[in-house]
A and B are shown apart, each in its own frame.
Chain A
């Protein structure tokens, strides 16, 4: 049985790293007694599959984790227990990590890493006004291509990143700067928040950053890997819930 978990990471805990979160999950799964399957080999590890890593310091209300359970275990959760799992897991998790929903998915479903094709963000840029940002966004979106050089795997690579900018708009002012909504493609390479701010070319510092959605493509329509508790998501991109 493979379960997909949707969880949040907000507040002080945003300062832990992705690896820290992975280890927190390993411990919590043991605490609640979820019978996770282990890999074979010399040093077996629990079969937890994370999606796109969240950078240290960034928050999220849409994180996903797939867990393979040991089908032979007597502790395999019943449907009633699955319904209880968000509450049980949240109680065992640190403050700031909460489970919103849990769903059963096909064991051979595409991995989160491969399936997710874009993410939506709320990004605060400090030290710049909404007017400055709006103008910079107009310029960027009007450009046929935006070439940047960045380091990937120790090498310098040059990419046109304009295709990654699916949607960009000012959301409003903040105490220290401006909030923007950004919808960015993640494949093949993705665009980091720091790179996004840099390409706007108006300076400014990264403030609060929060991932608000992750999207997969199902038959050409966007849907989330797993629906949130309300079932609905921020329109207008969604046509169907997760399978």
Chain B
């Protein structure tokens, strides 16, 4: 049953109607078999943002390869179409077959950003499903969530039926089996499917747990209320990325989207140990894709899609042990006609890598991005991003001298132990980088991008109380005033008010759900979009719920305090994280454990997995250009790529 005929006349009245038609190359419309478990995979933001999401594409392919499941995709309709849908009593639909959301069995969201939570509620509502999980009948949609935000799912606990922690590739099949079996029984009740899902490793069913609060209002524990529910839910980890060469057919959009190029994931996990970085912590251990497979996925992908740019994605691509070979092979692939652009997101901060990039003649030189994250060496030791000033200057010198004119530098503000000297240190770095640029160009430019720091679950900083929005604003203005007269340096920053809201959802417990629902009911969708974010909605919702940002976001937490995510596990020992927090405060750095001895964070030892690397040769120049000696004895062979006229882009 398709809603297309009723939808089409509305497309003439909205912006960018191509968002809603599907028909993309690589998209797949499955046969609607009654006995299969139907998944509607959703990204809770616009099509432009959601389409390139690899997680959604990977899961859709895996489910569609099964006989007991099928999957289609959906994204958040923009406000103009949503108004039309509601006015004409039309539901959320899949872009593949334009089937109504209510025809599916599961509505599953990928959560990459906390500020999309109100969109999640909105999409559940647009699907015609009761927003609160407790109000759902047996035959209503099962609502699930996956992605990095699931490491504190409590704010959404009352609105979702299940939460998936970790890698989805294997667990999605197990969930499909359970749902198909429940469907075959005629969906008798909700509790049986909840219990079945709770029995799957990596799946958390919030309805089977109760939070317990003390007299002081602090969380005491989150405890199971059903025998089917385990006390601790461990994340899922696939040991061998090589066994999962997905997506096999990346979706090529008809219309403009972000990251519009071939994306090939080269590894999962990260061993750098940057203390602010949740993604790095929760995705350990490292699992690299075999270099051969990367090469094949790149060449076949380029051939199939007609893209002329490929991005090798991961949390720290230049640390991929086979990176030199892969870039060389991609660039020299005769099928690409020598005109392929290879994107290495977040270049390593060292002259060596930039030098390699520079060996290849560039046609596009939009700008190079580096992420020092903090303005002084002391601060960088606290956050364990061990880049020295010399490293940075050597890297930008290499870049400017080879023709790049624009540098982008990413920093965080509001870090633990931060002083004004650290904030102003950003200005010092920016000015020095610009001065180097002036040696090579008449009008070099430096853009400093400042993000407000939100301490995330399962990081050593999870006990740190976030800077207030007033404090963040003060620091931003301090830096802005400092850079006011430096023409050539541009400062951009994230809205500190939005950072506060992000903190509410990243660090809150189940009581935060009422706030999210309140903001949604008052029209607060697309809060991750600057033009829609409205702090007053959040403040009023907090007041009505009797909660305070001071308690949830700004308060430092104590070692013995129960955290809202203590009943979940990313494999990291809590005492490792606490010790790393103390080390941070003492400004002690920690080495990259991929090549140096293990310090037992728990991620590998707990699961009996080791880091999987594509090549035995560690990358030259150390990890992230830190100069750490990673070679296990012997020379690290370094070969410069041949000077062939091809284009290389770096984002």
* Separation of A23 and B23 alpha carbons in the complex (Å): 15
Q: Using A12-B21, A15-B18, A28-B306 as known contacts, say yes or no to A94 and B254 having CB atoms under 8 A apart.
A: yes
Query: Count of chain A residues with Cβ under 8 Å from any Cβ of B?
Result: 25
**Partner pick for A15 among B17, B24, B308, B363, CB 8 A cutoff:** B17
Asked if A206 is at the interface of the complex by the 8 Å CB criterion, the answer is yes
With a cutoff of 8 Å between Cβ atoms, the chain B residues found around residue A44 in the complex are 363
**Partner pick for A20 among B256, B305, B307, B363, CB 8 A cutoff:** B256
Q: Using A17-B255, A43-B364, A57-B12 as known contacts, say yes or no to A31 and B306 having CB atoms under 8 A apart.
A: yes
Residues A12 and B22 in contact, CB atoms below 8 Å apart? yes
- Chain A residues numbered 56-113 whose CB sits less than 8 Å from any CB in chain B: 56-57, 92, 94-96
With a cutoff of 8 Å between Cβ atoms, the chain B residues found around residue A94 in the complex are 23-25, 254
CB distance from B256 to the nearest CB of A (A): 7
With a cutoff of 8 Å between Cβ atoms, the chain B residues found around residue A57 in the complex are 11-12, 17
Residues B305 and A27 in contact, CB atoms below 8 Å apart? yes
Q: Is the interface of B mostly helix, strand, loop or mixed?
A: loop
- Chain B residues numbered 328-378 whose CB sits less than 8 Å from any CB in chain A: 363-364
With a cutoff of 8 Å between Cβ atoms, the chain A residues found around residue B21 in the complex are 12-13, 15-16
* Separation of A160 and B252 alpha carbons in the complex (Å): 45
Return the chain B residue nearest A73 by Cβ: B337
Query: Count of chain B residues with Cβ under 8 Å from any Cβ of A?
Result: 22
With a cutoff of 8 Å between Cβ atoms, the chain A residues found around residue B23 in the complex are 12-13, 94-96
Asked if A155 is at the interface of the complex by the 8 Å CB criterion, the answer is no
Q: Using A15-B11, A17-B255, A43-B364 as known contacts, say yes or no to A31 and B22 having CB atoms under 8 A apart.
A: no
Residues A16 and B305 in contact, CB atoms below 8 Å apart? no
Residues B254 and A13 in contact, CB atoms below 8 Å apart? yes
Interface mask (A24-38 → B, CB under 8 Å = 1, otherwise 0): 101111110000000
With a cutoff of 8 Å between Cβ atoms, the chain B residues found around residue A43 in the complex are 363-364
Return the chain B residue nearest A46 by Cβ: B308
With a cutoff of 8 Å between Cβ atoms, the chain B residues found around residue A56 in the complex are 17-18
Asked if B492 is at the interface of the complex by the 8 Å CB criterion, the answer is no
Interface mask (B223-261 → A, CB under 8 Å = 1, otherwise 0): 000000000000000000000000000001011100000
With a cutoff of 8 Å between Cβ atoms, the chain A residues found around residue B363 in the complex are 42-44
Asked if B304 is at the interface of the complex by the 8 Å CB criterion, the answer is yes
* Separation of A96 and B22 alpha carbons in the complex (Å): 12
Residues A31 and B255 in contact, CB atoms below 8 Å apart? no
Return the chain B residue nearest A29 by Cβ: B306
* Separation of A180 and B254 alpha carbons in the complex (Å): 30
Residues B252 and A27 in contact, CB atoms below 8 Å apart? yes
Return the chain A residue nearest B14 by Cβ: A15
**Partner pick for A16 among B255, B304, B308, CB 8 A cutoff:** B255
CB distance from A54 to the nearest CB of B (A): 13
- Chain B residues numbered 163-185 whose CB sits less than 8 Å from any CB in chain A: none
Return the chain A residue nearest B303 by Cβ: A31
With a cutoff of 8 Å between Cβ atoms, the chain A residues found around residue B17 in the complex are 15, 56-57
CB distance from A14 to the nearest CB of B (A): 9
Residues A20 and B255 in contact, CB atoms below 8 Å apart? yes
Return the chain A residue nearest B253 by Cβ: A20
* Separation of A201 and B363 alpha carbons in the complex (Å): 53
**Partner pick for B18 among A17, A27, A206, CB 8 A cutoff:** A17
Residues A31 and B11 in contact, CB atoms below 8 Å apart? no
- Chain B residues numbered 10-62 whose CB sits less than 8 Å from any CB in chain A: 11-12, 17-18, 20-25
With a cutoff of 8 Å between Cβ atoms, the chain B residues found around residue A30 in the complex are 306-308
* Separation of A29 and B304 alpha carbons in the complex (Å): 12
- Chain A residues numbered 205-219 whose CB sits less than 8 Å from any CB in chain B: 206
- Chain B residues numbered 294-324 whose CB sits less than 8 Å from any CB in chain A: 303-308
With a cutoff of 8 Å between Cβ atoms, the chain A residues found around residue B307 in the complex are 27, 30
* Separation of A56 and B17 alpha carbons in the complex (Å): 8
* Separation of A31 and B308 alpha carbons in the complex (Å): 10
Q: Using A13-B254, A43-B364, A57-B11 as known contacts, say yes or no to A20 and B306 having CB atoms under 8 A apart.
A: no
With a cutoff of 8 Å between Cβ atoms, the chain B residues found around residue A28 in the complex are 306
CB distance from B53 to the nearest CB of A (A): 20
Closest 6 CB pairs of A and B: A27-B306, A31-B306, A15-B17, A30-B306, A16-B18, A12-B21
* Cβ contacts A to B, 11 pairs, < 8 Å: A13-B254, A15-B11, A16-B21, A16-B254, A17-B255, A20-B254, A28-B306, A31-B305, A43-B363, A43-B364, A56-B18
Known: A15-B11, A96-B23. 15 other contacts (CB 8 A): A12-B22, A13-B254, A16-B21, A16-B254, A17-B18, A17-B255, A19-B256, A20-B18, A20-B254, A20-B255, A23-B256, A30-B306, A30-B308, A31-B306, A94-B254
